[in-house]
């Protein structure tokens, strides 16, 4: 787990000034420059950064959310708890966090598809889904997902029939959403781990729909 970090207010303010005058415009280079700066100033140990990267890429990522979805597919009682109060339900896994303090689960069906966006910024249940993808934070997605959601989904490879209702949910700092995709046909008798392997991050945002075996 990441090491504890002590914050020096004056040092952080100095770093903030550097952000606006010394960092390059390219995102990857900015991240690398910022990493070098905080390590150089002694605010973060290199092993702490490595631990955080490993935590979010290997242990959190979308894997936690996939476990929740798989449990909901096989356990009707857990499914009911998740749909009634997702914030409480995920505590059974120990996955609660600041980004899931107010979490609502919305479920796809044959006649309904759900899509999540954050129009104001990029609020996202990262303790379940890991770091948000760049497109989720883009101004284009945040605007178009509300104005023309079917066109956005088409660009992700989802063509919804006209008789399938599409609901767009706008995340905020106070309320975030988790899409529960449909369980794919042909997975009867599968274990939770097998089912979790089918669940994608995009499916839990709503930009993926068909999770059937052999699709990927």
Residue 38 parent element (H or E): helix 27-40
Q: Work out whether the CA dihedral 35, 18, 127, 144 comes out positive or negative.
A: negative
- List C-alpha distances in Å: 54 to 38, 60, 130, 188: 19, 9, 11, 33
The closest of 138, 107, 113, 109 to 124, measured between CA atoms, is: 138
Which one from 21, 118, 132, 171 is the annotated catalytic residue?
A: 118
Between CA 173 and CA 151 the distance in angstroms is 27
The reply to whether 57 belongs to the active site is: no
The reply to whether 122 belongs to the active site is: yes
Between CA 103 and CA 127 the distance in angstroms is 11
Between CA 149 and CA 100 the distance in angstroms is 25
- Beta carbons within 10 angstroms of residue 24's beta carbon: 10
Between CA 17 and CA 34 the distance in angstroms is 12
Which one from 36, 57, 121, 138 is the annotated catalytic residue?
A: 121
The reply to whether 138 belongs to the active site is: no
**183 CB-near residues (< 8 Å, 6+ apart):** 73, 195
Active site residues: 118, 121-123
């Amino acid at each position: 787990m990441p090491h504890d970090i002590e914050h020096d207010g004056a040092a952080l303010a100095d770093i903030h000034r550097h952000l606006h005058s010394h960092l390059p415009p390219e995102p990857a280079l900015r991240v690398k420059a910022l990493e070098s700066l905080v390590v150089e100033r002694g605010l973060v140990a290199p092993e702490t950064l490595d631990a955080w990267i490993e935590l979010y890429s290997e242990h959190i990522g979308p894997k936690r959310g996939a476990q929740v979805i798989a449990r909901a597919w096989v356990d009707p009682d857990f499914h009911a708890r998740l749909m009634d109060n997702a914030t409480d339900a995920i505590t059974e896994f120990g996955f609660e966090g600041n980004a899931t303090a107010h979490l609502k689960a919305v479920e796809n069906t044959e006649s309904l598809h759900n899509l999540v966006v954050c129009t104001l910024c990029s609020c996202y249940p990262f303790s379940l889904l890991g770091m948000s993808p760049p497109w989720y934070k883009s101004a284009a997605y945040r605007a178009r997902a509300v104005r023309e959601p079917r066109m956005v989904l088409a660009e992700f490879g989802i063509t919804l029939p006209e008789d399938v209702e599409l609901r767009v949910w706008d995340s905020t700092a106070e309320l975030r959403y988790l899409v529960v995709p449909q369980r794919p046909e042909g997975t009867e008798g599968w274990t939770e781990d097998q089912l979790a392997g089918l669940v994608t991050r995009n499916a839990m945002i709503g930009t993926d729909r068909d999770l059937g075996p052999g699709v990927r």
